[in-house]
Chains A and B, each alone.
Chain A
Amino acid sequence: MKIIRPKKVLPALLMLLLAASVLLPIVGAAATTGELYQTTECSPERDLTVSVHTASSIASLKVNEIAGNIPDFADWRNGNVEFSTTYYNLEGVPTAYSFDVVVNGEYRGYILVSATRNNYPILEFSKGFAPDKCSELMTHSSEIAGKFAEKRGLNTGDAELLYLGATFYYAKFPLADSRGIKQGSVIIDLTAPSVVDESSTRLPVTGDEFLQQQQEKQKEIDVLWEALDDQMTSPDPTISAESVTGTSGYINGVPTYLWQLGCSPTASAMVLGYWDSHGYPNFPGEDPLIQELATAMGTTPEGSTWPWDIDDGIDEVCANHGYSSMDSSDDAWMTFDEVKSEVDAQRPFVLSLWSGGTPIGGDEPYGDHSVTCVGYHDYTEDWVSIHDTWDTQIHNVVYGDWLGAMATWVRP
């Protein structure tokens, strides 16, 4: 059982409040539900809608850009896109368009383009299948909705697919009685097929602070859309020079450890494993290091860790091995510029995500997960490169594709 040290109570409560103030606005910022349009009601002259035609052009352009930038997606070069479906929010407003990526007549994946300029232009892309393409999943969801309706003596209609933010896919089935009169709807979570309570799906948070945060986020989104507009209207819009020649940074020599006892100790061990081979050789090997970190940061037997214990745990382990001067600190206000600066200084760090999205090219969202940051790409879209504890590859995640994030810097 973990003992709460008195000196930790105040910081813990402060962190709770801090995290609440961070998380709640970001929950809304990441969602793309109808209420988000409230933020722009003050400027009704702006048409935020993106047509399917425009989205198709964007998808086509980006598919080739992705093929040119990501080795894993090189086979997407000269790929075509074919419109697949429209995703909506809870109010029936389009939020995203899904396009199949087809190369030489073969399905090679999908790309999801925002249906509104209120969100990032490219929401996701993958070599896997979007939920609407997964017939087994759709059939299963339909069966669950059917059973739900049957219990109430109702019938289900055709599903409307919902996209409420990264990895938040739902299917909304209208319900009607035997006379055909509408009786509401039932929503099925497509990521883990089950009936969800509409009130529990992610809804945007309103209020002044939210509006301010959203406006700041919107500035970043606007910059991306403007860059895209320039790209689309340039004489040769095939691949933008900016996107190809953007800056990137990386750190070689960070070991890749697979998950053991918890993601936070494993991710932290990779950081210390790096320093072990960069002038701080007293750290133990992989297994004992992860074990020591898990103990020091109070990781639960299930593998979860309080975020504010990560830096203390790292400090404790560093001190145990004679490196008291090493300083680890949490940063719940991390910016992409700080990520770049840290990577450029060749200092890997722990990145803890709340509701982390799916890595580029992956098919599984990270959820609440700590990873080790080893690089960045500063293109029209910003990415962080990570070791995710699930394999030995270097993965890229779109910066901001999470509900909340905290960096734990480790500086000698």
Chain B
Amino acid sequence: MGFLENDRTGRAALVLLLIAVGALGALLLSDHLMIGPGHPPPGALQQWYIPRPGYEYAENGSVVVNRTIEGDIVLSGDIEEGYPPPFPDLSPYCSHAVYLDTGSGDRYLVVNWYFDDDADLARAEGNLCSYLRSSGNVASAGLILPGEPDRSPDAPIVSPITVTKYESETSSGYFGVVEKPLSPEHDDYFIVYYGVFGPAVLPDHTAALEELMLRSYSLRGARSLASCT
């Protein structure tokens, strides 16, 4: 009888062991089955806030580019890697683009600096502020973006953001800092600039710049440059 009991206990142990091994295997395998996060690489994030052209198929199946961003504003040239003059080199992940208002002939500039570390962001903010102060006038400002396009009817019709206003002979516009906009779990930080080329009366261009902001990734939660306040 004792032998039989031992045998039964052994079998039960074997079954339990097999279940445990199976469960462990399933658990290990399941780690590889989850899809994502598919987080964009830095090369993509360095263009994140730059309004992009649209791409559509033509009747012959080729892809055509629609450079119109909104109204009379069109992308002029391509989205370029790197920082444009006169701004300083703040991050290896930077892109910029120039837009033309075909009605007025005004040219606008959007710059996107990307960081994956908040210490790098803080350092860059400091360097940028030093440059901005030495080359023009800096002040905090608030912008109230109208209801963002393609948003829920329930969403707020205005979206106030805080920015840093910059005015100089070469370019005037607004700087904003956005932290972790893709997901609270990802260390993504951006400094973005929406400005007009040349000496300009900034309020005359704010509507066009807000239009560009609305055609960018959401600026919800944007703040001004910390070191400039």
- Let me know if B14 is at the binding interface, CB within 8 A: no
Q: How far apart sit A287 and B147, CA to CA, in the bound complex (Å)? A: 13
For residue B182, which residues in chain A have a CB less than 8 angstroms away from its CB?
259-261
Q: Is the pair A368, B151 in contact by a Cβ cutoff of 8 Å?
A: no
Q: Is the pair A303, B185 in contact by a Cβ cutoff of 8 Å?
A: yes
Which segment, of B35-43, B137-145, B167-175, faces chain A?
Answer: B35-43
- Let me know if A239 is at the binding interface, CB within 8 A: no
Q: What range describes how many residues of B lie at the interface?
A: 35 or more
For residue B55, which residues in chain A have a CB less than 8 angstroms away from its CB?
256, 392-394
Chain A contact residues, CB within 8 Å of chain B? 13, 15-16, 19-20, 23, 71, 248, 250-252, 255-256, 258-264, 284-289, 299-307, 310, 352-354, 363-364, 366-370, 375, 389-394
Chain A residue with the shortest CB-CB distance to B31: A304
For residue A259, which residues in chain B have a CB less than 8 angstroms away from its CB?
38-40, 182
Q: Is the pair A391, B26 in contact by a Cβ cutoff of 8 Å?
A: no
Q: Is the pair B29, A20 in contact by a Cβ cutoff of 8 Å?
A: yes
- Let me know if B71 is at the binding interface, CB within 8 A: no
A140 to chain B, nearest CB (A): 16
Q: Is the pair B57, A250 in contact by a Cβ cutoff of 8 Å?
A: yes
A256 to chain B, nearest CB (A): 7
Chain A residue with the shortest CB-CB distance to B53: A392
Contacts A250-B61, A260-B183, A287-B152 given; does A304 touch B34 at CB 8 Å: yes
Contacts A284-B152, A285-B150, A288-B155 given; does A303 touch B61 at CB 8 Å: no
Q: Is the pair A370, B38 in contact by a Cβ cutoff of 8 Å?
A: yes
Q: List 7 A-B contacts (CB under 8 A).
A: A19-B29, A300-B34, A302-B36, A363-B43, A364-B41, A364-B44, A394-B57
| Interface residue ranges of B45-89 to A (CB < 8 Å) | 47-48, 52-57, 61-63
Which 10 residue pairs are nearest across A and B when measured between Cβ atoms? Answer: A303-B37, A263-B38, A369-B38, A284-B152, A390-B44, A285-B151, A304-B36, A250-B57, A392-B52, A304-B34
For residue B43, which residues in chain A have a CB less than 8 angstroms away from its CB?
363-364
Besides the known contacts A255-B150, A287-B155, A368-B38, 13 further A-B residue pairs in the complex with CB atoms under 8 A apart: A259-B38, A263-B38, A288-B155, A289-B152, A302-B185, A302-B186, A303-B36, A307-B33, A307-B35, A353-B35, A363-B43, A369-B38, A392-B55
Chain B residue with the shortest CB-CB distance to A292: B152
- Let me know if B154 is at the binding interface, CB within 8 A: yes
- Let me know if B217 is at the binding interface, CB within 8 A: yes
For residue B39, which residues in chain A have a CB less than 8 angstroms away from its CB?
259, 263, 303
Q: Is the pair B35, A288 in contact by a Cβ cutoff of 8 Å?
A: no
For residue B148, which residues in chain A have a CB less than 8 angstroms away from its CB?
285, 287
Q: How far apart sit A260 and B185, CA to CA, in the bound complex (Å)? A: 11
- Let me know if B134 is at the binding interface, CB within 8 A: no
Q: How far apart sit A23 and B151, CA to CA, in the bound complex (Å)? A: 39
Chain B contact residues, CB within 8 Å of chain A? 26, 29-30, 32-41, 43-44, 47-48, 52-57, 61-63, 148-155, 182-186, 217-218
Chain B residue with the shortest CB-CB distance to A248: B61
For residue B186, which residues in chain A have a CB less than 8 angstroms away from its CB?
302-303
Q: Is the pair B35, A352 in contact by a Cβ cutoff of 8 Å?
A: yes
Q: Is the pair A392, B61 in contact by a Cβ cutoff of 8 Å?
A: no
Q: How far apart sit A248 and B63, CA to CA, in the bound complex (Å)? A: 12
Q: Is the pair A305, B36 in contact by a Cβ cutoff of 8 Å?
A: yes
For residue A284, which residues in chain B have a CB less than 8 angstroms away from its CB?
151-154
Of B33, B44, B53, B185, most buried by chain A (CB within 10 Å of CB) is: B33
Chain B residue with the shortest CB-CB distance to A404: B33
For residue B150, which residues in chain A have a CB less than 8 angstroms away from its CB?
255, 285-286
For residue B34, which residues in chain A have a CB less than 8 angstroms away from its CB?
300, 304-307, 368
Q: Is the pair A288, B29 in contact by a Cβ cutoff of 8 Å?
A: no
Q: Is the pair B155, A285 in contact by a Cβ cutoff of 8 Å?
A: yes
Q: How far apart sit A88 and B223, CA to CA, in the bound complex (Å)? A: 52
B110 to chain A, nearest CB (A): 14
Q: How far apart sit A118 and B77, CA to CA, in the bound complex (Å)? A: 44
For residue A13, which residues in chain B have a CB less than 8 angstroms away from its CB?
26
Q: Is the pair B35, A391 in contact by a Cβ cutoff of 8 Å?
A: no
Contacts A20-B29, A284-B152, A392-B53 given; does A370 touch B36 at CB 8 Å: yes
For residue A363, which residues in chain B have a CB less than 8 angstroms away from its CB?
43
For residue B47, which residues in chain A have a CB less than 8 angstroms away from its CB?
391
B47 to chain A, nearest CB (A): 7
Q: How far apart sit A242 and B155, CA to CA, in the bound complex (Å)? A: 51
Q: Is the pair A303, B57 in contact by a Cβ cutoff of 8 Å?
A: no
Q: Is the pair A258, B48 in contact by a Cβ cutoff of 8 Å?
A: yes
For residue B57, which residues in chain A have a CB less than 8 angstroms away from its CB?
250-252, 375, 394
Q: Is the pair B217, A310 in contact by a Cβ cutoff of 8 Å?
A: no
A350 to chain B, nearest CB (A): 9
For residue B218, which residues in chain A have a CB less than 8 angstroms away from its CB?
287
Q: Is the pair B38, A392 in contact by a Cβ cutoff of 8 Å?
A: no
State which of B36, B41, B48, B155 has its C-beta within 8 Å of the C-beta of A263. B36
Q: Is the pair B37, A263 in contact by a Cβ cutoff of 8 Å?
A: yes
Chain B residue with the shortest CB-CB distance to A303: B37
Chain A residue with the shortest CB-CB distance to B45: A390
A375 to chain B, nearest CB (A): 7
For residue A255, which residues in chain B have a CB less than 8 angstroms away from its CB?
150
Q: Is the pair B63, A394 in contact by a Cβ cutoff of 8 Å?
A: yes
State which of A252, A264, A289, A375 has its C-beta within 8 Å of the C-beta of B35. A264
For residue B153, which residues in chain A have a CB less than 8 angstroms away from its CB?
284
For residue A352, which residues in chain B have a CB less than 8 angstroms away from its CB?
35
Q: Is the pair B29, A303 in contact by a Cβ cutoff of 8 Å?
A: no
Q: Is the pair A390, B37 in contact by a Cβ cutoff of 8 Å?
A: no
Q: How far apart sit A370 and B35, CA to CA, in the bound complex (Å)? A: 7
Q: How far apart sit A369 and B41, CA to CA, in the bound complex (Å)? A: 12
